[in-house]
């Protein structure tokens, strides 16, 4: 199908992009990798007056270190995230979740920041970002501000990014030496998660010293499973202990029903998959 006509602008810098946002008076949409936006436009489910394409902004690309943090440019593609040595060493959970996103074509076009800013609750990168306490750097006409992941996701497809702002960087604490696993449950390989569980643990011998767990598609926003995390700390990584901890997986969730899963089944899956994700992380 063919989208309705729209104006198009492709700034070269973040400052130019912010200016373009400020100057646009009609409805404007930011185009990152286009893997969610373009289908919506082509099906004419949205008809923005203008698209601002971030694809030419070099400073939004790539991964670097900044002290004890990693900084991921919002326009870094999934493909580049998968292969980045810094992320593979210090934030393996993000890489593992990215491995499960769609197919190779989509991973070449789609971007890390675009997925987070789109905030589809079935998207696979939100829960890992939340679990790892990343920070979002948002640029706007009043300069830059940093929002913790816990405050970034507001509702279905809604984030803390204002209408005149754009997500430019994601700052990730280093989880060096942590073990991770992303357990995605879907029906065919290229589909969105029915439920997903992101788990990272810091082992101390046979014990779990610290844990981070986030859930995909168990509410309108990603859910941090703090009850599970607390139950795991100080435990030996036995199947029994992990299963017991996973019983807390539903704290703070409010799942909905769809054709693939009703609420009861989704809740059941969340517990089973939490147990599996933590086990896989702890034994990896």
Partner 1 sequence: MTATADSHAGGEVGQARLRKEDARLIAGRTRWTDNMSLPGMMHMAILRSPLAHARINRIDASEARSMSGVEAVVTGADVADDQGSLPCAWPITEDMKSPNAPSLAVDEVNFAGEAVAVVVARSAAEAHDALEAIDVDYEDLPVVLDMSSAMTEGSDLVHPDLGTNASATWVFDSAEAGTGGSADEALAGAEVTIHRTFRQQRLIPAFMEPRSILVDPTGEQTTMWSATQVPHILRLMLAMTTGVDEHKIRVIAPDVGGGFGGKLQVTPEEVITFLVARKLGKPVKYTESRSESFTSAHHGRDQIQKLSLAADRNGTVTGLKVELLADMGAYLRLVTPGVPILGAFMFNAIYKIPAYHFSCTNVFTNKVPTDAYRGAGRPEATFAIERMMDELAAELGMDPLEVRERNWIKHDEFPYTTVSTLTYDSGNYEAATARARELFGYDALRAEQAERRRRGDTVQLGIGVSTFTEMCGLAPSRVLGALSYGAGGWEHGAVRMLPTGKVEVITGSSPHGQGHETAWSQIVADRLGVGFDDVEVLHGDTQSSHKGLDTYGSRSLTVGAMAVVQAADKVIAKARKIAAHMMECAEGDVEFSGGRFTVRGTDTSTSIQEIALAVFAAHDLPDGVEPSLDSEATFDPENFSFPHGTHLCATEVDTETGRVRLRSYVAVDDVGNVVNPMIVEGQVQGGLAQGIAQALFEEAVYDETGTLTSGTLADYLVPSAADLPSFTTDRTETPSTTNALGVKGVGEAGTIASTPAVVNSVVDAVRHMGVRDIEMPCTPMRVWRAIHGGAQ
173 vs 149, 205, 226, 242, CA distance in Å?
Answer: 12, 23, 18, 25
- Piece in contact with partner 1 (CB under 8 A), picked from 1-9, 16-24, 129-137, 167-175: 1-9
Cα–Cα–Cα angle for 54, 55, 56, rounded to 5 degrees: 95
Nearer to partner 1 among residue 171 and residue 276 (C-beta): 276
Minimum gap (Å) between residue 99 Cβ and partner 1? 12
The tally of CA atoms less than 13 A away on the side-chain side of residue 169 is 19
The reply on whether position 4 binds partner 1 by CB under 8 A is yes
Nearer to partner 1 among residue 79 and residue 192 (C-beta): 192
| φ, ψ (nearest 5 deg) of residue 75 | -95, 10
CA distance 276 to 272: 6
Minimum gap (Å) between residue 1 Cβ and partner 1? 4
The reply on whether position 192 binds partner 1 by CB under 8 A is yes
In the chain, beta strands by DSSP E: 7-9, 28-31, 50-53, 63-66, 69-73, 135-140, 143-148, 153-155, 158-159, 166-173, 179-185, 195-204, 207-216, 223-224
Contacts (CB under 8 A) with partner 1, residues 33-92: 42-44
Please pick, from the candidates 22, 150, 154, 191, the single residue that binds partner 1 as defined by CB under 8 A: 191
Minimum gap (Å) between residue 269 Cβ and partner 1? 6
CA distance 69 to 71: 6
Contacts (CB under 8 A) with partner 1, residues 92-121: 103
CA distance 253 to 222: 9
Please pick, from the candidates 66, 68, 85, 188, the single residue that binds partner 1 as defined by CB under 8 A: 188
Of the candidates 243, 190, 180, the one whose C-alpha atom is nearest the C-alpha of residue 212 is 180
Minimum gap (Å) between residue 165 Cβ and partner 1? 29
Q: What is the DSSP letter of 284?
A: -
In 149-284, beta strands by DSSP E: 153-155, 158-159, 166-173, 179-185, 195-204, 207-216, 223-224
The reply on whether position 260 binds partner 1 by CB under 8 A is yes
Please pick, from the candidates 108, 142, 187, 206, the single residue that binds partner 1 as defined by CB under 8 A: 187
Nearer to partner 1 among residue 181 and residue 212 (C-beta): 181
Site string for partner 1, 5-34 (x = CB under 8 A): x-----------------------------
Minimum gap (Å) between residue 106 Cβ and partner 1? 12
Please pick, from the candidates 59, 251, 253, 265, the single residue that binds partner 1 as defined by CB under 8 A: 265
Of the candidates 88, 76, 94, 73, the one whose C-alpha atom is nearest the C-alpha of residue 139 is 73
The reply on whether position 157 binds partner 1 by CB under 8 A is no
- Residues near partner 1, by CB under 8 A: 1-2, 4-5, 42-44, 103, 185, 187-192, 194, 259-262, 264-265, 268-269, 272-273
């Amino acid at each position: 199908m063919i989208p309705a006509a729209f104006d198009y602008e492709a700034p070269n810098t973040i400052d130019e992009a912010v200016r373009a946002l400020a100057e646009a008076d009609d409805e404007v949409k930011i185009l990152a990798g286009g893997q969610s936006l373009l289908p919506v436009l082509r099906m004419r489910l949205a008809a923005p007056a203008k698209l601002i394409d971030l694809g030419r902004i070099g400073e939004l690309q790539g991964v670097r270190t900044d002290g004890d943090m990693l900084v991921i440019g919002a326009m870094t593609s999934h493909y580049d995230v998968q292969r980045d040595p810094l992320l593979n060493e210090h934030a393996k959970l993000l890489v593992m979740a990215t491995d499960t996103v769609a197919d190779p074509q989509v991973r070449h076009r789609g971007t890390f920041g675009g997925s987070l800013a789109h905030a589809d609750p079935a998207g696979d990168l939100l829960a890992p970002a939340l679990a790892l306490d990343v920070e979002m750097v948002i640029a706007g006409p009043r300069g830059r501000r940093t929002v913790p992941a816990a405050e970034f996701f507001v509702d279905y497809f809604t984030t803390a990014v204002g209408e005149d702002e754009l997500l430019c960087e994601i700052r990730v604490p280093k989880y060096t030496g942590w073990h991770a696993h992303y357990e995605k449950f879907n029906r065919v390989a290229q589909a969105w998660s029915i439920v997903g569980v992101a788990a990272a643990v810091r082992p101390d011998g046979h014990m779990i010293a610290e844990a981070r767990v986030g859930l995909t598609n168990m509410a309108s926003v990603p859910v941090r499973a703090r009850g599970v995390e607390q139950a795991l700390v100080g435990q030996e990584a036995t199947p029994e202990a992990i299963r017991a901890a996973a019983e807390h997986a539903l704290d703070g969730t409010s799942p909905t029903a769809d054709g693939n899963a009703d609420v009861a089944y989704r809740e059941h899956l969340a517990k089973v998959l939490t147990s599996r994700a933590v086990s896989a992380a702890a034994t990896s």
